[in-house]
């Protein structure tokens, strides 16, 4: 999944106050590996045991930091010379780190070790920098799916098969909007497709928030607008601007706004706590505030464990041409250029990227392995626990995934664009905001 953290300004300059992160680079037979994901820290712990058993005397230390602190600590480690030997990274920081030579290129190691990059289903190209070199092995992948309450469908007279084959277009919303309307219920018990429905007094929204702050739209509007052939940037990788003035994008955003105006989907800020934190989609589905939602694949185990609420998973809607298009983000496994133990670190990183390790780690279902055979095992393992992930696996088999775009100055883009999205979906800005969003992207992407 993409990273949305508050304290990331230090990434761009690689200048921070204070001292080291407290976790020195590995030496001798020790390898330090960092992650921000508590679930992956546990999952890859299974690989750690196997790796240490196969390499007597080797010590792999897995450290997990909260995402709000992770990149600040990582940057501090670069400056102080105490960064971990290897670490999980989000593609939005590839430019900052590779551009300042903090990452070790892996091409020679890949060739020497006969690592076949074709074995990965997604993520390889995301980690090629502008110099053409490969800086990471794919660590995982993620995509969006439709989570729905089975009881809500039954009460509305909608079959699971109907949800699995939903269609969408920006003119009338297709069967997706019809199903969303049917699932929406006002406080008087009227449904969104019935006479007398009160759009200003909603008890259950048909679908969770699609109007969101994210300028990527990974789990909101991206799986919809992408079916129109819209591309995020003017180039697939390292674009010079984001295509926010494209008529297909503008039309989709207007449809999203119309969906909230009809009362079928919550407006931005509808579900927040006193400190303005957003209530999770899992809690909203569990409390029947929403009957259905577009959510990340990483949330599947949590949706499957909502007490007393059977939740199904469907693919994202088919577009006007009868095809899906699903954004897939893939985190990478980087090696720090300053590691004192490059050979052992590569041995650990390449093992993490092997079918054996990804099968062990992926059995938890908390992330999706990048290798298809390991992903198949994850689906089988989770099905025995009552969570059916076959929808996501089918994306790979059907070839409907497209990779997220690598772009420059990730944290600066995020900081500039998200307030503009918020202003638009919050009703403070009109369509003129899209030209500003595109201009801002062009300015920031051009900066060194």
Query: pLDDT tens, 315-372?
Result: 999 999 999 999 998 999 999 999 999 999 999 999 999 999 999 999 888 889 999 9
Distance CA 303, CA 294 (A): 12
Smallest Cα–Cα separation from 423: which of 243, 189, 222, 212?
A: 212
State both tokens at 97. Answer: 């780190």
The number of residues making up the chain comes to: 448
State both tokens at 146. Answer: 């439709």
Cβ–Cβ < 8 Å for 263, 200? yes
Mind listing the domains of the chain with CATH numbers? 10-141+332-393 (3.40.190.10), 144-328+408-445 (3.40.190.10)
For the stretch 294-315, pLDDT in tens is: 999 989 989 999 999 999 999 9
Instruction: Report whether pLDDT(9) > 90.
Output: no
pLDDT band at residue 27 under the 50/70/90 scheme: low
pLDDT (mean) for 173-177:
98
Dihedral sign from CA coordinates of 289, 295, 299, 301: positive
Which of 253-257, 266-270, 286-290 is the least confident region? 266-270
Cβ–Cβ < 8 Å for 313, 285? no
What are the start-end ranges of the E strands in 70-218?
A: 86-89, 137-138, 144-149, 185-186, 202-204
For the stretch 84-116, pLDDT in tens is: 999 999 988 898 899 999 999 999 999 999 999
pLDDT, mean over the chain = 91
Alpha-helical (H) ranges within 113-246 are 150-156, 160-164, 174-183, 222-225
Distance CA 267, CA 258 (A): 10
Measured between its terminal Cα atoms, the distance across the chain in Å is 26
């Amino acid at each position: 999944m993409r990273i949305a953290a508050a304290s990331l300004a230090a990434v761009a300059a690689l200048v921070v106050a204070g001292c080291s992160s407290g976790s020195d680079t590995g030496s001798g037979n020790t390898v330090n590996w960092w992650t921000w994901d508590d679930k992956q820290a546990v999952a890859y712990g299974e690989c750690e045991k196997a790796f240490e058993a196969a390499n007597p005397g080797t010590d792999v230390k897995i450290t997990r930091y909260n995402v709000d602190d992770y990149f600040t600590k990582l940057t501090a480690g670069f400056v102080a010379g105490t960064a971990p030997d290897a670490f999980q990274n989000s593609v939005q920081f590839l430019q900052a780190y590779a551009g300042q030579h903090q990452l070790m290129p892996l091409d020679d190691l890949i060739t020497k070790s006969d690592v076949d990059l074709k074995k990965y289903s997604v993520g390889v190209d995301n980690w090629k920098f502008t110099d053409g070199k490969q800086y990471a092995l794919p660590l995982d992948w993620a995509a969006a799916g439709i989570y729905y309450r089975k009881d809500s469908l039954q009460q509305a007279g909608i079959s699971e098969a109907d949800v699995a084959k939903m269609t969408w277009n920006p003119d009338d919303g297709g069967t997706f909007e019809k199903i969303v309307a049917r699932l929406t219920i006002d406080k008087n018990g009227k449904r969104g497709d019935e006479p007398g429905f009160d759009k200003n007094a909603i008890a259950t929204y048909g679908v969770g928030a699609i109007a969101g702050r994210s300028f990527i739209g990974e789990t909101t509007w991206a799986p919809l607008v992408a079916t129109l052939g819209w591309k995020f940037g003017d180039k697939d990788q390292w674009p010079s601007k984001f295509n926010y003035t494209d008529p297909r994008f503008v039309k989709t955003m207007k449809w999203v706004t119309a969906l909230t105006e009809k009362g079928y989907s919550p407006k931005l800020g509808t579900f927040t706590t006193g400190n303005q934190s957003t209530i999770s989609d899992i809690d909203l589905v569990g409390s029947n505030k929403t009957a259905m939602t577009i959510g990340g694949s990483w949330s599947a185990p949590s949706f499957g464990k909502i007490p007393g609420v059977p939740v199904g998973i469907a693919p994202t809607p088919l577009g006007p041409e009868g095809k899906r298009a699903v954004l897939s983000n893939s985190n990478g496994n980087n090696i720090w250029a300053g590691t004192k133990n490059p050979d052992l670190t590569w041995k650990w990183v390449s093992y993490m990227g092997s079918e054996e390790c990804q099968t062990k780690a992926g059995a938890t279902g908390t992330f999706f392995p990048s290798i298809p055979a390991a992903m198949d095992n994850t689906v089988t393992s989770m099905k025995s626990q009552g969570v059916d992930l076959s929808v996501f696996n089918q994306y790979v088999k059907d070839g409907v995934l497209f990779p997220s775009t690598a772009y420059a100055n990730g944290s600066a883009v995020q900081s500039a664009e998200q307030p503009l999205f918020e202003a638009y979906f919050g009703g403070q800005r009109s369509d003129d905001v899209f030209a500003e969003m595109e201009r801002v992207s062009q300015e920031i992407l051009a900066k060194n």
